[in-house]
Amino acid sequence: MQAPLFADATPIADGAWLLPGLALGAAPALLDAVAPAVWRHYQVPGGGRMSVAMAALGPLGWVADAGGYRYSAVDPLTGQPWPALPAAVLALAREAAAAAGYPGFEPDACLVNRYAPGARMGLHQDRDERDRRWPIVSVSLGMTATFLWGGLTRRAPVRRLALHHGDVVVWGGASRYTYHGVAPLAGPAHPLLGAQRLNFTLRRAG
Ligand code: MD6
Ligand code: FE
């Protein structure tokens, strides 16, 4: 692993870094950016609905429908483009990616997940993006979550990692297809955001 460019950078696995508090400065811009978001609970192939509410920002948004999962330039719910990714958020994504060893990252999609207490995300891989060489930059705001970090197969052992308000995780390289999820949200409300957690994942999808 290379010498980190961010003093508090903590290695998680090969290609994956935790950058504690790196997003604190960009939090107001992130909250402004999602203010106009239209939230929805996507249906999953099994027939149920996700407990996490989702929205998207930027040129491409991740959507789930009867045809599966894909990226779309328009919101199927509104027929409109997704709200824009503000410059401050793009700057944060570039800074985080560079700090983790991925210079030149230009995200074109940001999936936003909103968790109420009890909401969770099952173990999954993120593999709908075209070019696996780009990492994913994940920003957490609000209540602390327990992130589940598995391995490259569904049955690999799972580590538990606390993600706090302002924390950034970057992963790519050998970790790009790691199985991961989020345990049911629990614990005290956040002083600023109340009883919820927001997670922003910035990606190069197209
Ligand atoms: C979440 N995050 O933290 C869910 N995926 O709410 C993800 O599923 C995720 O944080 C890929 C890369 C980073 C992530
Ligand atoms: Fe994911």
Determine the residue of 112, 141, 199 to mutate for testing ligand 1's pocket, defined as the one with the most ligand atoms within 8 A of the Cβ atom. Answer: 199
State if residue 53 touches ligand 1 by the CB under 6 angstroms criterion: no
| CA gap 1, 53 in Å, rounded | 35
Domains of the chain: 10-27+87-203 (2.60.120.590)
State if residue 175 touches ligand 1 by the CB under 6 angstroms criterion: no
Instruction: Render pLDDT for 73-83 as a digit per residue (tens, 0 to 9).
Output: 999 999 999 99
State if residue 113 touches ligand 1 by the CB under 6 angstroms criterion: yes
Amino acid 65: pLDDT: 81
Ligand number nearest CA of 137 is: 1
Amino acid 23: pLDDT: 97
| pTM of the full structure | 0.96
Q: Which residues of the chain carry a pLDDT beneath 50?
A: none
First to last CA, the chain: 28
Amino acid 170: pLDDT: 97
Distance 69 CA to ligand 2 centre (A): 12
Amino acid 44: pLDDT: 82
CA-52 nearest atom, ligand 1: 6
Ligand number nearest CA of 148 is: 1
Ligand number nearest CA of 135 is: 1
